[in-house]
Structure formats: C-alpha cells, structure tokens
A = this chain, B = another copy of it.
C-alpha cells in the first residue's frame, strides 16, 4: 500500500528476537546520524522547562521538567501504602494518613535530570535528548526520611536504603521496577535532609511527579528522587540494581565500571532575552539596555561566582548573584546589564561553586551523556528595526 507506514517506522532493525527488537543495548549515534523517532517519542512524553519559565521562583508543576522511565502508574492515594522493611527492628506499613500524621517539613529544591545536556554531545548517546532545559524548582512537603527510619529502627549492619517505585518496565534488556539506593549516611543526613514527599508547591503531587509519594534528595540529580515510592528496604550490602550499577555511571568506555552519578554539577541558565523565531528559537533584541537574568545552582557546594559572556565566550564579566535566602538546595537569581549593539551576538553564562568547579566550555563527554553542564549558548540578533510585521 503506497505510503503505508511500515513495521520499521520506529526501529530500523526489527527481528523475531524479542530481546533485540524490544530493548537494544545502549549506543552512540553515528557522526552524521540525526535524532531518531525513538528519541523524539521520548521527547514528546518528557519535557523540559521552557526557558522563559526561569522567571518563576517556583516552577509551576506543568512547566517543571519531567522524566518518566516507564509509564506513569495508575496510583490511588486512598489505598497507597509505603512499606519499610529489611534490616529494621520494626517493619512499617504506612498509608497516606499515617504519613501525614508525622510533622511535615517543606523544602525548596532544584531538581535536574542527570541526562540534561545529552543531545548537545558529539558523539550523542542515544536516549532522552535533552539540550539544557531539564530542570525545575519546587517546594516539596513531606516527612523526613530519617524520621521514618528512626521509627523503624535501623539495624547496625544496614549500609544502604533501597527505594522502589511503582513504575515497571524494561531497560537495556532488564525487566525491573525502578529502584535506586542511597548510602545510609545520605539517607539519614540533616543537610541535605531527604524527604518522603506528598505535596509539590502546596498541592498533592501531580501524577507525573510521583503521585501520591516520592523521594526528594536535595542536591542530587533526578534519578535519586524515586517517584511513586512504595517500598524502602534497608540492606546490609551495597545495592547493585540496574539503575545503580548499569545506568547512571560516568563511563568513557562501555566495559569500565565507571563512577556513580550523584550530586548536581554547577550550572547557570539565562532567560533568553527579547523574543524568538518560532523554528530556530534565535532571539531578537532592540539596541540599548537589556537585562540579562536567570538562575544558577549547584548540588555540590554553594555558588561563588556567576559570569556572563556576550561575545561567545571570549570574555567573561561577573553577574550579580542573589543570596540563597535560606534555600540552600534551590537555584538562585542572577542578573547582569548588557548594552546591545546591532548585529549577531552569542550570550552565555557560567557558574562556579565553592568546590572550585566551573562550567566547561568544552564538552565533558561520557557514554551515558550524564552531567553535561557545558555552558548554554543563546544566539541573538540585535536589530534596529523589526522584521516585517504582519499586522
């Protein structure tokens, strides 16, 4: 049938072998290979923060980045139960009312996907194709994890807490519930304090953000903040599950064990100034004074410096950075003046934190495309007159 979409619409190489057809190994795109429909299918489901939404201190839920590994579960808060099991003296089973009966804590936290920046890498790891926008900041309300662990009584031989979500799927040939662990010191720390959260910006969690219950691990990339949390298991040896030992490792070669992906590297983002072209997202500003502004964050150490460049990274100038105002794990506002002159400009911003890390201008490549905090580049035309106005 002419024009009929073939069985190969979504994968180039179908076969009778379910494991090859279903769930191929991780791979890098060839140098000339454009982005595939599989990657676009992920990009159509998951989404980043439209960069103009950096204007909001707190990101509205539908603008906050979302990455869902499998499907959003059909969770019912009325029957939801969280269990705490394993190396504890008193196993717990807690429904939402029981969780809400503990004293609630609210924390403002910036969350970023570990894969943010992946699609800008060359060669490009084939996965969710983020550019720079996989971030958001919300106020999360819930029970401190350490309160629940205190109640359960952690045995002295426990070394990690394993968190199991209700989302179920296959990844690189491995069928699994989404699971991640934290070392006990991180799970029970007071700064950052890990939350078992049931509210986002004062409302029950939306489905895509883990309704009715999720983990919030301030300062860590998103993979640690297990959504649809249904089970916490204390274990006496390090967890070796897929998301811990296979995915979410910094590796240059496929076979090396790699280093675990943990805390968020420093990053600053600018609200693209002026107004955009629909397709290229290139910006237009008028000549004269333009305020450059945005947000910056690091999960590793307090920010110490924000710099902007208006000449594609040739020179850098300090921006003014707002104080953290008690929100140590949330982004901070920054601004810098700019006098725009006619012509094309490339704007960038970079963050430095107290650990001495500065965002790179050369890509920090790894096979998974994790932690790519390469500086943002915004292409701007400063034009004296408008283009033809339609009206």
Name A's B-contacting residues (CB within 8 A): 1-5, 7, 9-11, 16, 18-19, 21-24, 33-48, 50-53, 55-56, 60-64, 66, 68-72, 74, 119-120, 122, 126-127, 129-131, 133-134, 164, 168-177, 179, 206-209, 241-242, 272, 275-282, 284, 312, 344, 346, 361-363, 365, 374, 377, 379, 381, 383, 386-391
Bound: A315/B179 CA distance, A: 41
A231 to chain B, nearest CB (A): 10
Bound: A169/B187 CA distance, A: 47
Which chain B residues lie closer than 8 Å to A275 at the CB level?
70-71, 168-170
Name A361's contact: one of B1, B23, B62, B363 (CB within 8 Å).
B1
A136 to chain B, nearest CB (A): 11
Which chain B residues lie closer than 8 Å to A172 at the CB level?
278-279
Name A279's contact: one of B5, B47, B122, B171 (CB within 8 Å).
B171
Known contacts A18-B381, A61-B61; 12 additional CB pairs below 8 A are A5-B377, A18-B383, A22-B277, A22-B280, A23-B280, A46-B47, A53-B72, A63-B206, A70-B276, A170-B387, A176-B389, A241-B391
Closest to A233 in B: B391
Closest to A382 in B: B18
Which chain B residues lie closer than 8 Å to A23 at the CB level?
277-280, 282, 387
Whether the pair A207, B391 counts as a contact (CB closer than 8 A) is no
* Majority secondary structure of chain A interface residues (helix, strand, loop or mixed): loop
A377 to chain B, nearest CB (A): 7
Whether the pair B22, A282 counts as a contact (CB closer than 8 A) is yes
Whether the pair B50, A72 counts as a contact (CB closer than 8 A) is yes
Whether the pair A10, B62 counts as a contact (CB closer than 8 A) is no
Bound: A179/B10 CA distance, A: 36
Bound: A173/B5 CA distance, A: 33
A24 to chain B, nearest CB (A): 7
Whether the pair A35, B35 counts as a contact (CB closer than 8 A) is yes
Whether the pair B171, A277 counts as a contact (CB closer than 8 A) is yes
Given contacts A176-B390, A276-B71, A387-B174, A45 and B47 within 8 Å (CB-CB): yes
A330 to chain B, nearest CB (A): 19
Bound: A64/B387 CA distance, A: 33
- With most chain B CB atoms within 10 A of its CB, the pick from A7, A23, A68 is A23
Closest to A177 in B: B391
Closest to A247 in B: B278
Name A277's contact: one of B36, B37, B170 (CB within 8 Å).
B170
Bound: A33/B34 CA distance, A: 6
Whether the pair B7, A312 counts as a contact (CB closer than 8 A) is yes
Bound: A68/B49 CA distance, A: 12
Which chain B residues lie closer than 8 Å to A52 at the CB level?
71-72, 74
Whether the pair B361, A41 counts as a contact (CB closer than 8 A) is no
Closest to A374 in B: B5
Whether the pair B38, A279 counts as a contact (CB closer than 8 A) is yes
Given contacts A35-B40, A71-B276, A276-B71, A4 and B361 within 8 Å (CB-CB): yes
- With most chain B CB atoms within 10 A of its CB, the pick from A33, A38, A164 is A38
Given contacts A74-B55, A176-B391, A377-B5, A206 and B60 within 8 Å (CB-CB): yes
Which chain B residues lie closer than 8 Å to A388 at the CB level?
173-175
Whether the pair B242, A390 counts as a contact (CB closer than 8 A) is yes
Given contacts A9-B377, A379-B10, A62 and B70 within 8 Å (CB-CB): no
